[in-house]
């Protein structure tokens, strides 16, 4: 695998992930830095995030819609993901992702 | 510049309103892409129109704003503060309810206080213990027939009314958003509670013995109040109530959220349907509770019924 990546010129993209509200509680930490292959999408990053923090799966993924939960706002460098390409949005090195659940206290 | 960077930058389209700044938010139900400034303006305009459409306030209203420390009520407080700036005779007072949910409400109240201080709005708090003799934690721990939210909803409503009266307010503004309104319509249909649909009115009703309740955010989706609170740096409570999952409302919320993704605009249609089918009656209030004297549909009001007060 490493040789294949080397052959393909694998470049890692580092992304800062910020979890808020109930997601922060489910993950047990507020921030995490993840590395994915260049060209990875937001959807790939969500998969990677769940791989790293399995506690997030139940609160972040809606299995009926087969996407991240509709009651969470996902911001890519301050831009709401559906204003980009949703889960297909490409990520760049140093990007900051914010996962903000819509259902809060009150 | 790497291709991924180029892709991201070219994907950020211009704001459909000002056509200058890059957009940060997409509204699937209208197709608009808005920059942060236009998003703020659009929410302000929406609230202004709603207030005017339902004649929510008088020029000199003393408005009690129900503030819980959550993003909806804090967004509403900020928007009403901006709106009332042009009305020198109107006044805002924040009213908060301490239900007595340890670790949850204490955090919310301190956030509410912080936000009120920032805006220079006076804040007044009432508690379940002083009004009803027990806290929500005690109610949750005792033997009971109904879910915790049924008690909390009834008591909270009364507590907000009492708080509004105590500050001499003639209006009580609550932070119910479009999602809450659509959920209420569907919940009442599922429960067959025709009486409640009859009294469904975001502009409230003037009933003797109650402060008129208004819902200025009734046409703003919850996603938008959250985004508004986030981009304006409002510090709001981030955790849901520990008792919230007991409610049937959670099932309805999940259903409506999924429908909204599949068919944008569903929540607005459900809300509009509620407005169409509601009557223009008094919501069934005909008499007064024989224990506490509050306006009531029956012999006993819900607060006395749930408190076990039988006289």
- Residue ranges of domains in chain A: 25-101
pLDDT tens-digit map of B3-27:
555 455 555 689 999 999 999 999 9
Residue B268 has pLDDT above 90, yes or no: yes
pLDDT tens-digit series, residues B45-66: 999 999 999 999 999 999 999 9
DSSP B205: -
pLDDT at B284: 57
This prediction has a pTM of: 0.89
The mean predicted confidence, pLDDT, of chain A is: 85
Q: How many CA atoms lie within 13 A of B216 on its CB side?
A: 32
The predicted complex's ipTM stands at 0.87
Strands B122-127 and A79-80, sheet pairing = unpaired
Q: What average pLDDT is seen over chain B?
A: 89
A11 → chain B, closest CA residue? B2
Contact yes or no for B258 and A64 at CB 8 A: yes
In the structure encoding, which two tokens stand for residue B249, read together?
A: 């409302």
Of B4, B70, B262, the CB nearest to A92: B4
Q: What percentage of chain A has pLDDT greater than the value 70?
A: 88
Rounded to a whole number of angstroms, the distance from the CA of A48 to the nearest CA of chain B is 18
Q: Give domain limits for chain B.
A: 55-280, 287-311
* Beta carbon pairs, A and B, within 8 Å: 111
Q: How far is CA A103 from CA B79, B127, B217, B224, B244, in A?
A: 20, 24, 16, 12, 11
Rounded CA-CA distance B187/B178 in Å is 14
Burial class (CB in 10 A: 0-12, 13-18, 19+), B232: middle
Contacts of B26 in chain A (CB under 8 A): 80, 82-83
Q: Which two tokens stand for residue B74?
A: 């804090």
For residue B12, the chain A residue with the least C-alpha distance is: A84
Higher pLDDT, A104 or B304: B304
| Residue in chain B nearest A39 by alpha carbon | B4
On the question of pLDDT at A1 being above 50, the answer is no
Mean pLDDT confidence for B158-185: 96
**What pLDDT was estimated at residue A8?**
57
Q: Considering only the top CATH level, what class is B55-280? A: alpha beta
Please say if the pLDDT value at position B215 is more than 80.
Answer: yes
What letter does residue B85 receive in the DSSP assignment?
Answer: G
Listed by number, the residues of chain A in 22-61 with a beta carbon closer than 8 Å to a beta carbon of chain B are: 22, 24-25, 38-39
Q: Which residue in B14, B49, B9 sits closest to B32, CA to CA?
A: B14
Distance CA B250, CA B225 (A): 19
Average pLDDT over residues B182-198: 86
DSSP A26-70: HHT-SEEEEEEETT-BHHHHHHHHHHH-GGGHHHHEETTTTEE-T
- What does CATH list as the number for A25-101? 3.10.20.30
Q: Which of B13, B108, B79 is nearest to B225 (CA)?
A: B79
* Residue numbers in A near B238 (CB within 8 A): 20-22, 24, 101, 104-105
Higher pLDDT, B269 or B285: B269
* The token pair that represents B190 in the structure block: 């599922």
Question: Which residues, 6+ apart, have CB-to-CB distance to B310 below 8 Å?
Answer: B291, B300, B304
Q: In what helix (H) or strand (E) does residue A96 lie, and over which residues does it extend?
A: strand A96-101
Shortest CA distance to A30 belongs to which of A42, A17, A48, A46? A17
- CA dist., res. B155 & res. B141, Å (int): 16
pLDDT score of A84? 94
Measured between beta carbons, the chain B residues lying within 8 angstroms of A106 are 68-73, 108, 175, 237
Q: How confident is the model at residue A38 (pLDDT cuts 50, 70, 90)?
A: confident
With an 8 Å Cβ cutoff, are B4 and A79 in contact? no
Residue whose pair of structure tokens reads 């408190």 in the numeric block: B307
Q: What is the β-pairing status of strands A61-62 and A67-68?
A: antiparallel
Residues of A in contact with B28 (CB under 8 A): 82
8 Å CB contact of B11 and A103: no
The verdict on A85 touching B (C-beta cutoff 8 Å) is yes
A13/B4 Cβ within 8 A: yes
Task: Choose between B128 and B192: higher pLDDT.
Answer: B128
Distance CA B141, CA B190 (A): 28
């Amino acid at each position: 695998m490493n040789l294949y990546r080397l052959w393909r010129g694998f470049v890692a993209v580092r992304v800062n992930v910020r979890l808020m509200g109930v997601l922060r509680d489910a993950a047990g930490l507020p921030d995490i830095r993840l590395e994915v292959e260049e060209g990875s999408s937001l959807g790939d990053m969500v998969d990677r995030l769940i791989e790293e923090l399995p506690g997030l799966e139940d609160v972040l993924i809606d299995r009926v819609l087969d996407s991240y939960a509709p009651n969470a706002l996902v911001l890519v460098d301050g831009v709401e993901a559906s204003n980009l390409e949703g889960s297909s949005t490409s990520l760049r090195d140093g990007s900051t992702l914010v996962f903000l659940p819509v259902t809060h206290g009150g | 510049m790497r291709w991924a960077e180029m892709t991201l930058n070219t994907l950020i389209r211009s704001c459909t309103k000002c056509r200058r700044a890059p957009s940060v938010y997409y509204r699937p139900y209208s197709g608009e892409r808005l920059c942060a400034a236009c998003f703020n303006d659009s929410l302000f305009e929406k609230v202004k129109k709603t207030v005017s459409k339902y004649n929510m306030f008088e020029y000199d209203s003393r408005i009690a704003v129900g503030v819980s420390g959550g993003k909806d009520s804090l967004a509403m407080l900020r928007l009403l503060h901006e709106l009332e700036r042009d009305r020198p005779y109107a006044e805002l007072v924040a009213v908060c309810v301490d239900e007595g949910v340890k670790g949850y409400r204490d955090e919310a109240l301190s956030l509410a206080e912080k936000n009120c201080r920032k805006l220079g709005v006076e804040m007044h708090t009432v508690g379940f213990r002083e009004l009803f003799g027990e806290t929500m934690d005690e109610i949750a721990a005792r033997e009971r027939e109904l879910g915790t939210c049924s008690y909390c909803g009834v008591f909270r409503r009364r507590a907000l009314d009492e708080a509004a009266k105590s500050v001499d307010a003639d209006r009580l503004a609550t932070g119910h958003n479009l999602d809450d309104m659509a959920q209420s319509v569907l919940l009442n249909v599922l429960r067959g509670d025709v009486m409640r649909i009859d009294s469904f009115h975001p502009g409230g009703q003037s009933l003797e013995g109650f402060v008129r309740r208004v819902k200025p955010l009734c046409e703003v989706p919850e996603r938008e109040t959250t985004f508004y609170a986030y981009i304006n740096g409002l510090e709001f409570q981030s955790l849901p109530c520990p008792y919230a999952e007991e409610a049937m409302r959670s099932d309805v919320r999940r259903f409506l959220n999924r429908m909204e993704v599949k068919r944008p605009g569903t929540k607005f249609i459900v809300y509009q349907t509620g407005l169409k089918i509601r009557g223009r009656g008094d919501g069934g209030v005909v008499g007064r509770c024989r224990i506490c004297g509050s306006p009531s549909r029956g012999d006993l009001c819900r607060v006395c019924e749930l408190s076990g007060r039988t006289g």
